[in-house]
Structure 1
Amino acid sequence: MPKPQKHVFVCTQARPEGHPRGSCQQKGCAAIAEEFWFQLQGRNLLGPVQLTTTACIGPCGVGPNVLVYPEGVMYSGLKKEDVGTIVEQHLVGGAPVAALLAPPDLWG
């Protein structure tokens, strides 16, 4: 297996209903993860891009959240419709999607 050029982490954290932190699951992360698989597979990008679903990556209140490495770019508040833009503009084109970036203060 070749070393991936990019690694995408999609938070799929699930917490019980009413948990004070909430969770990306309650905000539709499953549809986002599925759309990443669909988009990457359809563009033959699995390999150059590694996709991993993960537990909590931090800012639950602004999820669903996605991290892209090696750049360390975090996207938040995503919808399924945003995935194609991230794939095309960031993963293929190399430019993060400014309108979808997590607020800069999340990184403290």
Structure 2
Amino acid sequence: MPAFSHHVFVCGNVRDPGHRRGSCDPSGDGDLRDAFKKALKRAGLSRTSRANHAGCLDQCEHGPVVVIYPQGIWYGGVTEQDVPRIVSETLVGGKILDDLLIPDDCLNNPDCPHRA
């Protein structure tokens, strides 16, 4: 079996409704990760790319958050509707989606303007 070319980590952290930092998977159902798994299979990538549930990625204000390794691409505000585009344009095409990208200066920055 070939090595994985992409690991897609989908934050599944659940917080109470109305929490000041938000929640990446408020219903706790894992639908976003499941959407990635299905899209990877449809694209023929299920042997070389993996969608994984992740605990808190500590970028809550940008949630739902997805990080793609080894490329180190951090996407925020990801919805199930974004998944096919992420798979086709980023994983297959190598294109970074600027509308979803969390800016480097916001990652792990307590002074990021998005933090509550």
- Provide the TM-score with structure 2 as the length reference: 0.82
Share of identical aligned residues, percent? 37
Query: Mean Cα displacement is larger for which, 29-38 or 83-92?
Result: 29-38
Structure with greater proportional helix content: 1
Structure 1's unaligned 5+ residue stretches are none
In structure 1, C-alpha distance between the alignment counterparts of 2:42 and 2:60, rounded to whole Å = 29
Aligned to 1:104: 104
- Structure 2 residues without counterparts, runs of 5 or longer: 110-116
Partner in structure 1 of residue 93 of structure 2 = 93
2:36 aligned partner, one-letter code: F
Q: Distance in 2 between matches of 1:50 and 1:9?
A: 8
- Residue identity in the other structure for 2:69: Y
Structure 1 residues 99 and 34, CA gap change in structure 2 (3 angstroms): same
3-state DSSP class of the match of 1:64?
coil
| Alignment pair present for 1:63 and 2:43 | no
One-letter amino acid of the counterpart of residue 11, structure 1: C
The TM-score with structure 1 as length reference comes to 0.87
The farther-off stretch of 81-90 and 44-53 is 44-53
Once superposed, what is the RMSD of the aligned Cα atoms?
2.0
CA deviation digits over 1:5-58, x for unaligned, max 9? 111100001123343322101288833212101101112211211211111111
Aligned residues: 108
How far apart, CA to CA, are the structure 2 residues paired with 1:27 and 1:59?
Answer: 18
Contact in 2 for aligned 1:75/1:102 (Cα 8 Å): yes
- Provide the C-alpha distance between the structure 2 equivalents of 1:60 and 1:75, rounded to a whole number of angstroms: 12
